[in-house]
Structure formats: C-alpha cells, structure tokens
Amino acid sequence: MLAKRKINLANGLVYLFLITNAVIVLAPIVWTILASFKPGQNLFSTSFGGFGFTLEHYKTLLFETSYVQWYKNTLILSVLNMLISLVLVTMTAYTFSRYRFKNKRNVMMGILILQMFPAFLSMTAIYIFLSKLNLIDSYLGLLLVYVTGSLPFLAWLVKGYFDAIPTSLDEAAKIDGAGHFTIFWEIILPLAKPIMVFVALVSFTAPWMDFILPTLILRSEENQTLAVGIFSWISSQSSENYTLFTAGALLVAVPITLLFMLLQKHIASGLVSGAVKE
C-alpha cells in the first residue's frame, strides 16, 4: 500500500510538472492569438475580460501595408536557401563519406573547429566582405551568408548519416555497371530521405525566422523580410501597432508550424539515424 502511494505521488508530481510547463509555454501563444483579434492598437489598454473580436488587423496587413511583399521576399529567400543548401550539403557530405583524398581529415577538422566560433564574431567581416562585392541590400549577399554559414554543420550531420549506409550497396551497384552519379542519385539519396527532410526544414526555417542578418544586410523597405518589417511597427517610441504586430507574427508562424507537424516523423528519425553506425 505504501509503495502504491509513493507511485501515485510520483505520478502526480510528474503530471503537475508537465501541466505547469504546458501553461508556461502556451500562455504567451494564447495571449498573442487573443491580441491579434483585439480592437485597438495597445495590448494593455483594456483587459481581456471584455474582449471584443475584430478582423481589422488582418485586413490592414493584407491591403494597407507591405506585409504581403515582405512575405513574398521571405518565401523566395527561404525556398532558394533550401534548394541550394540541399544540393551543396548532399554533394559535400557524399564526397567526405565515400571518397578518399589527401588531407581529408584535416579539412574536416578545420570545418569542425570553425563551427565552434560564435556567428556574432564574424558580423563585421561579413558586412565588409559583402560591401566590397557590392552585395549589400541584395538577396544574393544574404543567400551567400546563409548557405555558407549552415554548410559545415549540415555537411557533418549528413555525412554521419551517409556513413551509416553500408558501402556494400555501392559495390553491388558498381558490379551492375552503375557509375558514381547513379549510385548517389538512385541508391544513396532515396535511403537518406529522413535526413534530407531535416536539412530542407532547417534551411527553410533559417531565413524565415532570422532578424539579425537581414537587418545588417538589407536596406530598402521593399527588400525587407518579415522579421525586419513587422518589428519596425513597434521599434520606435512613437509606434503602437502592437495588435497589428501580433497578427503579423501569427501568420509568420503558420507555415513553419504546419511543416513541422506534417514532417515531424522524418525530423526525429533524421536527427538520430546519423548518430548510430552499424
């Protein structure tokens, strides 16, 4: 009986801990959703006890601001970064996983060491470099930073996954007359679908949610991304578009949330598969 009480007490504490964490996580989200439908511009002008419902903020977003243009800019950047990163990451990872060449280990260790330095240390160098190339206020400069910045880490991750794929499959394909490209395209990539999904999502999410790099590189309003654009509504002391900000923030979160919900299974398997080698 005493052991059963201890088990019930332990289970109760676990549920209490989980419920508390759920409330802490969900409370800001619920507040943001309510605020996006709240009349007026100030979040704290009235309590939510007498809550009024309005869609004016969403109408303003779509028809009276540059929000749609910012959404388009961010979508283009995210898709291009995803496609370019997928090609470069898979080719780099496959090269390091399947080919032997001089100083291979040194190159890999150099890439790993460079990843240990915080990205903020290179902000000044990035700006000067892009300025010399006349790539300030251009998507090409922004894509260059995104792709090169994520390539080392993602290449290491995908290489670990490729290493777990038996080389006997490559040898059997070579006996049948398959070339390197055929092996890569028809054997390795289909088996690497989980990690490819993970790389695609990470590469898509980086520009979609980023604020620092677009602020540093982009200058004109028509080239702004969502994070920079909607932040400008509340960044100055005279700005009080808080409810409009919440509506814009909710629409930003919708595509990412749907993608993670639909591809959650592939994300989890892609994260752990490269860590185990048989």
**Encoding tokens for residue 160?**
């670990």
Number of domains in the chain: 1
Q: Let me know if residue 5 belongs to a domain.
A: no
Q: What does the mean pLDDT of the chain come to?
A: 82
Distance CA(272)–CA(164), nearest Å, equals 11
pLDDT of 200 strictly over 60: yes
Neighbours of 61 (CB within 10 A): 20
End-to-end CA gap in the chain: 46
**Encoding tokens for residue 182?**
């055929």
The CA-based diameter of the chain, rounded to the nearest angstrom, is 76
Q: Let me know if residue 96 belongs to a domain.
A: yes
Q: Let me know if residue 56 belongs to a domain.
A: no
Distance CA(79)–CA(86), nearest Å, equals 11
Q: Let me know if residue 26 belongs to a domain.
A: no
* pLDDT tens per residue across span 63-107: 888 899 999 999 999 999 999 999 999 999 998 888 888 888 888
- The predicted pLDDT at position 43 comes to 62
The total number of residues shown for the chain amounts to 278
pLDDT band at 241 (very low <50, low <70, confident <90, very high): confident
Q: Let me know if residue 198 belongs to a domain.
A: yes
Query: Of 67-81, 136-150, 184-198, 257-271, which gets the smallest average pLDDT?
Result: 257-271
Q: Let me know if residue 208 belongs to a domain.
A: yes
Distance CA(132)–CA(62), nearest Å, equals 37
Contact yes or no for 209/256 (Cβ under 8 A): yes
Domain span at residue 149 reads 65-273
Indicate which CATH number applies to the domain containing 131: 1.10.3720.10
Distance CA(246)–CA(234), nearest Å, equals 11
Selection from 149, 179, 135, 132 nearest residue 84 by Cα: 149
Highest mean pLDDT among 19-33, 102-116, 227-241: 19-33
The residue ranking higher by pLDDT, 232 or 136, is 136
Contact yes or no for 92/151 (Cβ under 8 A): yes
Q: What is the pTM of this model?
A: 0.80
pLDDT of 196 strictly over 80: yes
Q: What is the DSSP track for 173-227? A: HHHTT--HHHHIIIIIHHHTHHHHHHHHHHHHHHHHH--HHHHHH--SGGG--HH
Q: Where are the beta strands (DSSP E) in the chain?
A: none
pLDDT of 170 strictly over 50: yes
Q: Let me know if residue 171 belongs to a domain.
A: yes
